[in-house]
Chain A
Amino acid sequence: MTHARMAAPRWALLATLLVALSAAAHAADPAQAATQAKGQAVYEHWCAPCHAPGPGHPGTQSLEFKYRGKLAAVLLERTDLAPQTVAQFVRQGVLLMAPFRKTEITDAQLTALSAYVARNFKSN
Chain B
Amino acid sequence: MALPPNVSPTDFNAALAAWRQTVGAEWVFTSDEDIALYRDAYSIFWGEPEERLASGAVAPATLEQVQAVVRIANQHRIPIYPISTGRNLAYGGAAPVYSGSVVLDLKRMNRVLEVNERNAYALVEPGVSYFDLYDHIRKANLDVWIDPPDPGWGSVIGNALDGGGGWTASPFRDHFGSHCGMEVVLANGEVVRTGMGALPHSKSWQHNRWGYGPWVDGLFRQSNFAVVTKMGFYLMPRPEAYMMATVTSQRDEDIVPMLDVLNLLENQHLVNGSTQIFSGPGPPGSNAPMWSIQVPIYGPENVVRAQMDYVKRKFSAIAGVTFIEGELLRTPLSQEALARVRLVNFGIPNLSTFAMLGRGSANPDPAGGHIGFSPIAPRTGESLLEFKRFYSENLSKVSGGENLGIVGPVYMTCWERTLVCLIMFPISRDKAHNAKIRRAFESWVKLAADRGWAEYRAPAAYQDLIAGTYSYNDHALRRLRETIKDAVDPNGILAAGRYGVWPKHLRKT
Binding site for B on A (CB under 8 A): 1-7, 9-11, 45, 49-50, 55-59, 61-62, 65-66, 91, 93, 95-104
Residues of B within 8 A of A11 (CB): 339
> Among the listed B85, B137, B331, B359, which residue makes an inter-chain contact with A66, where contact means beta carbons less than 8 Å apart?
B359
If A49-B153, A56-B352 touch, does A98 touch B358 (CB 8 Å cutoff)? no
Contact across chains for B141 and A2 when beta carbons are under 8 A apart: yes
If A56-B343, A58-B352, A101-B105 touch, does A5 touch B364 (CB 8 Å cutoff)? no
Residues of B within 8 A of A55 (CB): 339
Contact across chains for A6 and B358 when beta carbons are under 8 A apart: no
Contact across chains for A65 and B142 when beta carbons are under 8 A apart: no
Complex CA gap A4/B108 in Å reads 26
Of the four ranges (under 10, 10 to 19, 20 to 34, 35 or more), the interface on chain B belongs to 35 or more
Complex CA gap A71/B394 in Å reads 43
Contact across chains for A56 and B355 when beta carbons are under 8 A apart: yes
> Among the listed A50, A99, A101, which residue makes an inter-chain contact with B354, where contact means beta carbons less than 8 Å apart?
A50
Contact flags (1/0) for B129-162 with A, using CB distance below 8 Å? 0010000011111111100000011000000000
Residues of B within 8 A of A66 (CB): 359
Complex CA gap A59/B57 in Å reads 29
If A98-B89, A103-B107 touch, does A58 touch B351 (CB 8 Å cutoff)? yes
Across the two chains, which residue of chain B brings its CB closest to A6? B332
Question: Is B338 interfacial (CB 8 A cutoff)?
Answer: yes
Complex CA gap A79/B144 in Å reads 41
Contact across chains for A98 and B141 when beta carbons are under 8 A apart: no
Residues of B within 8 A of A101 (CB): 37-38, 57, 86, 94, 105, 107
If A65-B360, A103-B105 touch, does A91 touch B37 (CB 8 Å cutoff)? yes
Complex CA gap A101/B57 in Å reads 11
Residues of A within 8 A of B354 (CB): 50, 58-59, 96
The 8 tightest CB contacts between A and B, nearest first, are A98-B41, A58-B354, A58-B355, A103-B107, A62-B359, A56-B352, A4-B141, A101-B37
Across the two chains, which residue of chain B brings its CB closest to A93? B41
Show 11 A/B contacts (Cβ-Cβ < 8 Å), sorted by A. Answer: A2-B332, A4-B140, A45-B131, A56-B350, A56-B355, A57-B355, A61-B359, A95-B358, A99-B37, A103-B107, A104-B107
Q: How far is the CB of B386 from chain A (nearest CB, A)?
A: 32
Complex CA gap A7/B153 in Å reads 17
